[in-house]
A and B are shown apart, each in its own frame.
Chain A
């Protein structure tokens, strides 16, 4: 291989099949290095330093040249690698096979994950910080699972999912502060409110498709936020709603000194008060809410409505020709997705104790959507992995604050290059006639299988 690259005839080799195209590779690498130079000059080549009261601009030529050189060599290596396209095809196949294998153990991985999640607070490393992060992570997982119904299953691109999250949070906050109802009454009501909003929004806009729907939902998300800011009488505007009641363990509060005549959680169990109790309780609460969302989705996929959603994603016209009412089917997906968003919103409100419109900006919608798309549309496990990548990993990288977004972007690009349909894009049928890996015994398929077997036998000789 190496001699081939160095051979003087390489320049003429462009048209010779199967050989390495050196000038082409040089040109490609030079262009890439050029782009890198343009980008690296302001980012790496210049540095602004505080020299006492003054700001001094320093140049770092050495670093700059190294960066450009690394890009040039890297690109060269890439062309060599690509030239050996057999290897590339093999690695792509390998990655695919890995994905398929991974998904075969879906159930086991899910189970192991659930067991880990349930025992998390007992692990030695699980301090307050870890449980808190895990709770945030689970909120995103739940939102991802909720949105997965709308985007992944029904194929409705919703860029304003955070609106339902906000409706849920505010409904919970208002009901709990105004009527003093308990968490367990407010939670379903908040979900119901969010679902109603889903239907109200959905009815006029679900006739739209693809990008148009995305823009309208984007607008809806912003409208909700603007209303929350400006409807001061009800929502308290940008000041937000504070002192939202904390959830109780079926009436037993997580307070050091409970109100007269009530008992606190630690008194109930006869243990010492620990502020971790509430944190852990919240963690289990969101874990259970999220798992309910998951169980619902897994079950509903096998029901006619779930299949209807998926069919709608594949081909709406065909659905109509089969007598399915497309509007109702879409609305149900929208409403149910919104409901789970509302549940998550309620949880968010009770956890924070304070909510304001600032928590419900477009970037939240974008992150939730990225979780669904990155995970592989419709894949439940994919959502968890993507939420991990998008929520936990940036948290770890907080120490490298400077490069955090850079690495985040790089990860996104790499995933989209390697697995353009999302991390886990394989879809298992919801109903089967034959066991997985079934080999047909008769008919056309059997003939094909036999032919392949004969081919293999011939090779073995």
Chain B
């Protein structure tokens, strides 16, 4: 469904991605793990077209999207929950969610809204509060909820667990799994929380210094002693 091949990306002088190949098949949950600064977020941003890849190509459902502007990706069925919680601070929670559904079939709106509220009861409690007045974790929930509202074919999630209470982290991962199973939504997930991410994912890639160094099923990587030493030890 999504094929990234030989992608190089630069931030100024910094060579952030050095020929990355990643494939995400329809209906899969694929995760990308790696330490900070490895280039995980850069890869997600490159898929979304900002920054654009300097070399290589990105193909989504047979269409070359390497140079398609970000806003057109939504029409193609790609939604992202960006790092840094880019919500609309002056709009209410409800309006933020409406914005997410801008390109979706209006017939689904109520149902999708219900689903987001069920996933994050906190958002329903605060639906008429302005986005900017939410706490950090609540803003993160809103960003994910908004991405879900567009009913994407491919959902790109950048560290959904960032700043979220442990209980809710598990709810989010469970919800991702649920949506994937019932609607066949494909998910590409970048996570620091490698333990949860690998448990959830069908397949996973490991990124080091802008290169993919390893890939396999989530279970395989979870059992891999190298991965355990590098990303899992000391944690949960």
Q: Which B residues are CB-close (under 8 A) to A320? A: none
Q: Which B residues are CB-close (under 8 A) to A86? A: 54-55
Contact status of A17 and B209, CB under 8 A, knowing A86-B55, A89-B54, A96-B12? no
- A448 CB–B CB distance under 8 Å: yes
Looking at B63-71, B88-96, B119-127, B132-140, the stretch in contact with chain A turns out to be B63-71
CB distance from B42 to the nearest CB of A (A): 15
- A327 CB–B CB distance under 8 Å: no
Contact with B along A82-113 (1 / 0, CB 8 A): 00011001000100100000000000000000
Determine which of B18, B54, B55, B64 lies in contact with A17 in the assembled complex, contact meaning CB atoms within 8 Å.
B64
Q: Which B residues are CB-close (under 8 A) to A16? A: 64
CB distance from B63 to the nearest CB of A (A): 5
CB distance from A20 to the nearest CB of B (A): 12
* B55-113 with Cβ < 8 A to chain A: 55, 57, 59, 62-64, 66-67
* A410-461 with Cβ < 8 A to chain B: 448, 451, 455
Q: What's the Cα separation between A15 and B52 when bound, in Å?
A: 18
- A261 CB–B CB distance under 8 Å: no
Q: What residue of chain A has the Cβ atom nearest to residue B57's Cβ?
A: A17
**A448 adjacent to B62 (CB under 8 Å):** no
**B67 adjacent to A18 (CB under 8 Å):** no
**A15 adjacent to B209 (CB under 8 Å):** no
**B67 adjacent to A15 (CB under 8 Å):** no
Contact status of A15 and B54, CB under 8 A, knowing A96-B12, A448-B209? no
Q: What residue of chain B has the Cβ atom nearest to residue A447's Cβ?
A: B209
* B15-51 with Cβ < 8 A to chain A: 18
17 other A-B residue contacts (CB within 8 Å) besides A17-B59, A18-B57, A89-B54:
A15-B62, A15-B63, A15-B64, A16-B64, A17-B57, A17-B64, A17-B66, A18-B64, A85-B52, A85-B67, A86-B54, A86-B55, A93-B10, A96-B12, A448-B209, A451-B209, A455-B18
Q: Which residues of B contact A (CB under 8 A)?
A: 10, 12, 18, 52, 54-55, 57, 59, 62-64, 66-67, 209
Q: What residue of chain B has the Cβ atom nearest to residue A444's Cβ?
A: B37
Q: Which A residues are CB-close (under 8 A) to B18? A: 455
Q: Which 5 A-B pairs have the closest CB atoms?
A: A17-B64, A17-B57, A89-B54, A15-B63, A448-B209
Q: Which B residues are CB-close (under 8 A) to A15? A: 62-64
Q: What's the Cα separation between A17 and B54 when bound, in Å?
A: 14
Q: What residue of chain B has the Cβ atom nearest to residue A86's Cβ?
A: B55
Q: Which residues of A contact B (CB under 8 A)?
A: 15-18, 85-86, 89, 93, 96, 448, 451, 455
The secondary structure that dominates the A interface is helix
Interface centre among A15, A86, A448 (most CB of B within 10 A): A15
Q: What residue of chain A has the Cβ atom nearest to residue B61's Cβ?
A: A15
Q: What's the Cα separation between A85 and B66 when bound, in Å?
A: 11
CB distance from B65 to the nearest CB of A (A): 9
Q: What's the Cα separation between A15 and B66 when bound, in Å?
A: 11
Q: What's the Cα separation between A375 and B108 when bound, in Å?
A: 51
Q: What's the Cα separation between A146 and B18 when bound, in Å?
A: 44
CB distance from A296 to the nearest CB of B (A): 31
Q: What residue of chain A has the Cβ atom nearest to residue B12's Cβ?
A: A96
CB distance from A380 to the nearest CB of B (A): 22
Q: Which A residues are CB-close (under 8 A) to B63? A: 15
Q: What residue of chain A has the Cβ atom nearest to residue B66's Cβ?
A: A17
Q: Which A residues are CB-close (under 8 A) to B64? A: 15-18
Q: Which A residues are CB-close (under 8 A) to B55? A: 86
Q: What's the Cα separation between A455 and B211 when bound, in Å?
A: 12
Give me 11 A-to-B residue pairs in the complex whose CB atoms sit less than 8 angstroms apart, sorted by A's number: A15-B62, A15-B64, A16-B64, A17-B57, A17-B66, A18-B64, A85-B52, A85-B67, A86-B54, A86-B55, A89-B54
Q: What's the Cα separation between A448 and B59 when bound, in Å?
A: 30
Q: Which B residues are CB-close (under 8 A) to A96? A: 12
Q: What's the Cα separation between A96 and B10 when bound, in Å?
A: 13
Interface centre among A17, A85, A96 (most CB of B within 10 A): A17
Q: What residue of chain A has the Cβ atom nearest to residue B62's Cβ?
A: A15
Q: What residue of chain B has the Cβ atom nearest to residue A90's Cβ?
A: B54
CB distance from B132 to the nearest CB of A (A): 14
Q: What's the Cα separation between A379 and B18 when bound, in Å?
A: 33
CB distance from A298 to the nearest CB of B (A): 25
CB distance from A420 to the nearest CB of B (A): 13
CB distance from B143 to the nearest CB of A (A): 21
Q: What residue of chain A has the Cβ atom nearest to residue B8's Cβ?
A: A89
Q: What's the Cα separation between A451 and B15 when bound, in Å?
A: 13
Q: What's the Cα separation between A17 and B52 when bound, in Å?
A: 14
CB distance from B146 to the nearest CB of A (A): 25
Q: Which B residues are CB-close (under 8 A) to A89? A: 54
Q: What's the Cα separation between A16 and B65 when bound, in Å?
A: 10
Q: What residue of chain B has the Cβ atom nearest to residue A16's Cβ?
A: B64
Q: What's the Cα separation between A425 and B215 when bound, in Å?
A: 41
Q: Which A residues are CB-close (under 8 A) to B10? A: 93
CB distance from A164 to the nearest CB of B (A): 35
CB distance from B19 to the nearest CB of A (A): 10
Interface centre among B54, B59, B62, B67 (most CB of A within 10 A): B54
Q: Which B residues are CB-close (under 8 A) to A448? A: 209
CB distance from A104 to the nearest CB of B (A): 14
Q: What residue of chain A has the Cβ atom nearest to residue B35's Cβ?
A: A444
CB distance from A201 to the nearest CB of B (A): 29
Q: What's the Cα separation between A448 and B67 when bound, in Å?
A: 29
